[in-house]
């Protein structure tokens, strides 16, 4: 594992011509039409800020989530089931002990990590694929405290497990967001396979749901009669990007198949449609369900992509380094292999930029306390990368 690698790369060298028109790529579903102007293919924003990237740490095996510590270091998860501390100067620590059993098959493993902003009691939350009987598994969340020497996660307690478990290795969702009002949002997936997908609209499970729980265990209050008490909203495919905006409102981005990545602002008790309505097509090229994109009582996405960017990781910029980006949404692109930036006017997207195109599969995005933007690249030799002005 490399302790510290410094490599500065100008954005222009990665991106090619400034503000390349990615909107020129044809959609997978050309006959589908947006429900309102600006719902997809927003105007391409100028990519006119020279960026530099610094590899803070590399040699990370499929890193998935990160959380900044008060001293400028980072907790970073590796999907095979390891949690590590990366110091502010780039030293990668040994595997942190004390994690619960983890099923690392397929898209599973150790996923997100979260700490309270002040880290007052050294509390940490992790999400992961938890093994269950019969080769099944489920997204779970546990919490514990990091030992004073940073070597062990102590007093670990599982506080949530998606029900029912499935024999699937896909679509675990799994971003964690403290809502600032005593709750913890957990994004989930619908486990991908036809059988669980068919239950995503059912109210007696957590399949394809967004849940809100107490950070120390249990539901944070029932929302809708007939729903499980943890369920906040439903009708999602696989949400791997979630964050609060400057007003404290939750936003999510979910993966579509061939088209249909969605930006949503989930609200309590609402149904976001999957798999009844969606944009794009199934991987086979056939329509999803009846192939409809709208139905009364089902919410439209704020924005969608076709083709997909394969969104993972979301942050709203709030810092001094890039004042031009204040309030913008920053999204990781796995297939897009870029840092995707959206400008917003209220709840509508007004422009899109794709920075650092070709940097790799961006799995997570965070804004550091110094205003730099931190990226995790998802690879066997993945990296923690700092983005600054050149």
Neighbour count for residue 210 (Cβ, 10 Å): 29
Question: What's the whole-number average pLDDT of the chain?
Answer: 94
Averaged over 155-163, what is the pLDDT?
98
Domain boundaries, the chain: 9-389
Comparing CA positions, the residue from 264, 240, 220, 253 lying closest to residue 112 is 240
- Beta-bridged to residue 138, according to DSSP, are 130
Cβ partners under 8 Å of residue 371, min gap 6: 319, 320, 321, 322
DSSP H or E stretch at residue 195: helix 194-197
- Give the CA-trace dihedral at 323, 328, 329, 331, to 10 degrees: -50
Find out whether 372 and 338 touch, Cβ atoms under 8 Å: no
Question: Is 168 a residue whose pLDDT tops 50?
Answer: yes
Residue 19 pLDDT grade (very low, low, confident, very high; cuts 50, 70, 90): low
Residue 271 pLDDT grade (very low, low, confident, very high; cuts 50, 70, 90): very high
Q: Residue 14 in 3-state DSSP?
A: helix
Is residue 307 reached through a cis peptide bond, with omega within 30 degrees of 0 on the bond before it? yes
Integer Cα distance of 21 and 241 in angstroms: 24
Q: Residue 118 in 3-state DSSP?
A: coil
Residue 120 pLDDT grade (very low, low, confident, very high; cuts 50, 70, 90): confident
Long-range contacts, stretch 114-123, CB < 8 angstroms, 24+ apart: 114/65, 114/67, 114/176, 114/177, 114/178, 115/67, 115/68, 115/69, 115/75, 116/178, 118/70, 119/69, 119/70, 121/145, 122/146, 122/147, 122/148
Per-residue pLDDT of 179-227, as tens digits, reads 999 999 999 999 999 999 999 999 999 999 999 999 998 888 767 899 9
Find out whether 87 and 95 touch, Cβ atoms under 8 Å: no
What pTM was estimated for this model as a whole?
A: 0.95
HSE on the CB side for 152, CA within 13 Å? 6
Integer Cα distance of 276 and 111 in angstroms: 28
Question: What is the sign of the dihedral through the CA atoms of 300, 301, 305 and 309?
Answer: negative
Higher pLDDT, 281 or 11: 281
Residue 20 pLDDT grade (very low, low, confident, very high; cuts 50, 70, 90): confident
Per-residue pLDDT of 25-69, as tens digits, reads 999 999 999 999 999 999 999 988 999 999 999 999 999 999 999
Cβ partners under 8 Å of residue 176, min gap 6: 65, 112, 113, 114, 125, 127, 141, 184, 185, 186, 242
- What percent of the chain has a predicted confidence (pLDDT) above 70? 95
Question: What's CA 276's distance to the chain center, in Å?
Answer: 23
* DSSP summary character for residue 230: T
- Beta-bridged to residue 354, according to DSSP, are 340
Averaged over 290-312, what is the pLDDT?
98
Question: Is 167 a residue whose pLDDT tops 60?
Answer: yes
Residues labelled as active-site residues:
171
- Beta-bridged to residue 177, according to DSSP, are 185
HSE on the CB side for 48, CA within 13 Å? 4
In this structure, which topology does domain 9-389 adopt according to CATH?
Neuraminidase (2.120.10)
- Res 10: pLDDT: 36
Instruction: Give how far Cα 373 sits from Cα of 220, 317, 360, 382, Å.
Output: 32, 8, 15, 17
């Amino acid at each position: 594992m490399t302790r510290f690698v410094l490599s500065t790369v100008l954005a222009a060298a990665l991106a090619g011509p400034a503000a390349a028109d990615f909107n020129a790529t044809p959609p997978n579903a050309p006959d589908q039409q947006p429900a309102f102007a600006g719902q997809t293919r927003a105007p391409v924003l100028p990519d006119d800020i020279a960026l530099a990237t610094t590899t803070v740490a590399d040699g990370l095996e499929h890193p998935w989530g990160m959380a900044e510590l008060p001293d400028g270091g980072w907790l970073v998860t590796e999907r095979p089931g390891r949690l590590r501390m990366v110091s502010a100067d780039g030293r990668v620590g040994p595997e942190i002990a004390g994690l619960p059993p983890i099923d690392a098959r397929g898209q599973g493993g150790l996923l997100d990590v979260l700490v309270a902003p002040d880290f007052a009691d050294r509390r940490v939350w992790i999400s992961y694929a938890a093994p269950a009987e019969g080769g099944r598994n489920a997204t779970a969340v546990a919490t514990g405290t990091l030992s004073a020497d940073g070597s062990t996660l102590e007093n670990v307690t599982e506080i949530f497990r998606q029900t029912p478990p499935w024999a699937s290795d896909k679509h675990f969702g799994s971003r964690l967001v403290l809502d600032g009002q005593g709750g913890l949002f957990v994004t989930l997936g619908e486990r991908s396979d036809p059988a669980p997908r068919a239950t995503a609209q059912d109210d007696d499970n957590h399949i394809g749901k967004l849940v809100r729980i107490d950070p120390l265990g249990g539901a944070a209050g029932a929302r809708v009669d007939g729903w499980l008490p943890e369920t906040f909203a439903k009708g999602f495919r696989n949400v791997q990007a979630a964050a609060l905006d400057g007003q404290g409102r939750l936003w999510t981005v979910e993966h579509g198949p061939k088209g249909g990545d969605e930006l949503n602002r989930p609200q309590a008790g609402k149904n976001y449609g999957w798999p009844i309505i969606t944009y794009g097509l199934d991987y086979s090229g056939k329509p999803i369900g009846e192939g409809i994109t709208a139905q009364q009582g089902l919410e439209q996405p704020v924005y969608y992509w076709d083709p997909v960017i394969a969104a993972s990781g979301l942050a709203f910029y709030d810092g001094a380094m890039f004042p031009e980006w204040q309030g913008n949404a920053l999204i990781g692109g796995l297939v897009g292999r870029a840092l995707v930036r959206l400008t917003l006017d209220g709840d509508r997207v007004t422009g899109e930029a794709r920075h650092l195109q070709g940097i790799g599969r961006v799995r997570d995005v965070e804004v550091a306390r110094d205003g730099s933007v931190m990226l995790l690249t998802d690879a066997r030799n993945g990296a923690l990368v700092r983005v600054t002005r050149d």
